[in-house]
Chains A and B, each alone.
Chain A
Amino acid sequence: MTLLEIGAIVLVTAGAVFFLAGTVGVLRFPDAPTRLHAVTKADNLGLGLLALGLALLADSPSTVVKLLLIWVIALAGSATACQLIANAYQREEQQVTPDA
């Protein structure tokens, strides 16, 4: 096993731990804003570590670039989604809708 492979295993494992933390947060935290915090921060860090780990195994520079691009796009998407959901939740709370 090469040094690169060991590095990949360490990074991917660390990423998986963050994914687990995100899932536990989504299930265990008390309300939507705290759950959002868990899913957005932990999962995206997990994805970043995973992408980095896989980049060590990549066979070409273009694959490395693609992996990092995917992570950056996922970051942009989920940061935006987090804002949108938090905003929608806040409005719902203010209105005290009966079906909530």
Chain B
Amino acid sequence: MSVFLYGAALFLVLNLLAGLLRVLRGPSDADRMLAAQLFGTTGVGVLLLLAEAQEVAALRDAALVFALLAALATAGFVRARRGEREAEGGAEE
């Protein structure tokens, strides 16, 4: 069973690295940010698989923390862009 779980984890890690291409290519920052979202979800998956394969229950806690904070960077990104627009005097509301 653990061979299958490690295989699945490796597959997800490779998926994650393929997602890096989107960060490199962009073109917009929104594209880069959504790639980060892909890392978040995939990372949770890898941690859950490794928790089962390595029989370390604490890794599920790491996955939990990861899932909790996954949207934090995105929220920061949106807030930062809005702050910049307002500073430029282009407040549209």
Q: How far is the CA of A71 from the CA of B27 in the complex (A)?
A: 30
**Tally of contact residues, B, Cβ under 8 A:** 45
Q: Is the CB of A81 within 8 A of B30?
A: no
| A:54-100 near B, CB below 8 Å | 54, 57, 63, 66-67, 69-71, 73-74, 77-78, 80-82, 84-89, 91-92, 95, 100
Q: A16-B12, A73-B64 are in contact. List 19 more A-B contacts (CB 8 A).
A: A16-B11, A19-B15, A22-B15, A23-B19, A23-B38, A26-B38, A39-B37, A47-B44, A47-B45, A50-B45, A63-B60, A66-B64, A81-B74, A81-B75, A84-B78, A85-B30, A86-B30, A88-B81, A100-B28
Name 27 interchain pairs, CB-CB below 8 A, sorted by A: A8-B1, A9-B4, A12-B8, A16-B8, A19-B15, A22-B38, A26-B22, A39-B41, A43-B38, A47-B41, A47-B45, A50-B48, A57-B1, A63-B60, A74-B40, A78-B41, A78-B70, A80-B75, A84-B75, A85-B77, A85-B78, A86-B30, A88-B33, A88-B78, A91-B85, A92-B28, A92-B30
Chain B residues in contact with chain A, CB under 8 A? 1, 4-5, 8, 11-12, 15, 18-19, 21-22, 27-31, 33-35, 37-38, 40-42, 44-45, 48-49, 52, 57, 60, 63-64, 67-68, 70-71, 74-75, 77-78, 81, 85, 90, 92
